[in-house]
Amino acid sequence: MTNTQRNTTVIGIVLALVVGSGYYFANRLTKQKNLIDGKNKDLTAEIEKLDKMLAQRAEIERSFEELKLMISLQSKVLAQTDTPAMTYNYFLQLLKWMKKNINYDFSLSSKKAADSNWNEYIVSGKSDFIVATNFIKNLEYQRPLLTIEDVTVAEYMPHVCDTVQFSLVLKTHFSPDGAEIGTVKEKEVKPYSSSYVSFRPKIYDNPPETDIDPNLVRIDKALIVGITETRAFLRDERGIIHILAVGDPVAYGYLYSIDPKQEKIVFRLNQYGSTEDKTLFMQKTK
């Protein structure tokens, strides 16, 4: 074998090795590339899936907040759970909404089954009659579902006008699917108002201090000086003549009737806390 042949053979062998190695490494790199491309494709799909989940989460959170708001504005709402501390804090929030203050005692009743979804509380205190009435009304009409089982109201002290002592037995109802009591919004409840108070004394030993129109005649200080079918003529302590018809006002009341035949007139008065009729007769001249 000549040198040329030997060199050609060596070059051919080297070339074959280079080509074979190149093909092997190229094939290996192709496989690795395909594997990486597959992983990248899977990662891309996973990222797109996560993006969709994040977008859905934002939508779910928005829907959840809207649902919480809708629940908080419902007419009546079940609480998610209840403890004495939560109910006590709700009472404080209720009084804050009312802008009032009430002194009361608060306790959890033992009347409850182990698997029940309610708690029973006893609330007792004292306050102004109107404030107590509005407190009870708000407990009943505000959104958290409470049921008042029993109410007792009594006069607190005879000399403390309009102040009453009260006692309530109420139940708080709750459910795991309910709302958090702290998220419930205030509901507008029209306050109760009345000039008549059941626990204010209405009968007096002496007439209460009231502003009487000085132009009105006082029956106990007046005399009849004349009577017609439709008019009565009275003279007061100042010597002023008052001409009255049925229904005309006088101090503490009004003229109720005129009887010219019996020469008398009847007044309907409320001077001592109850309505009574007072009759004046025309004095006979001697």
Q: What's the whole-model pTM score?
A: 0.47
Structure tokens at 264: 């008398």
Determine which helix (DSSP H) or strand (DSSP E) holds 246, and give its type and residue range.
none
Cβ burial of 21 (10 Å; 0-12, 13-18, 19+) is: exposed
User: Which residues make Cβ contacts (< 8 Å) with residue 172, sequence separation at least 6?
Assistant: 79, 82, 87, 118, 119, 121, 144, 145, 146
pLDDT digits (tens, 9 = 90+) for 124-157: 998 888 888 899 999 988 888 888 999 988 877 6
End-to-end CA distance of the chain: 186
Residue 236 above 70 pLDDT?
yes
Residue type, 65: E
Greatest mean pLDDT among 5-19, 200-214, 242-256: 242-256
Name the band, by pLDDT with cuts 50, 70 and 90, for residue 213.
Answer: confident
CA dist., res. 163 & res. 43, Å (int): 75
Largest CA distance in the chain: 186
Name the band, by pLDDT with cuts 50, 70 and 90, for residue 245.
Answer: very high
Taking the CA atoms of residue 44, residue 50, residue 51 and residue 52 in that order, the dihedral angle to the nearest 10 degrees is 110
User: Which residues make Cβ contacts (< 8 Å) with residue 68, sequence separation at least 6?
Assistant: 179, 183
Give pLDDT, residue 238. 87
The percent of residues above 90 in pLDDT, for the chain, comes to 18
Residue 237 above 70 pLDDT?
yes
The chain-wide mean pLDDT, for the chain, equals 80
pLDDT digits (tens, 9 = 90+) for 75-93: 788 888 888 999 999 999 9
- Backbone phi, psi, residue 172, to 5°: -100, 135
Residues facing 241 on adjacent strands? 235
Give pLDDT, residue 10. 62
CA dist., res. 13 & res. 271, Å (int): 138
**Between these two residues, 127 and 55, which has the higher pLDDT value?**
127
pLDDT digits (tens, 9 = 90+) for 270-280: 877 678 899 99
Radius of gyration of the chain from Cα atoms?
A: 47
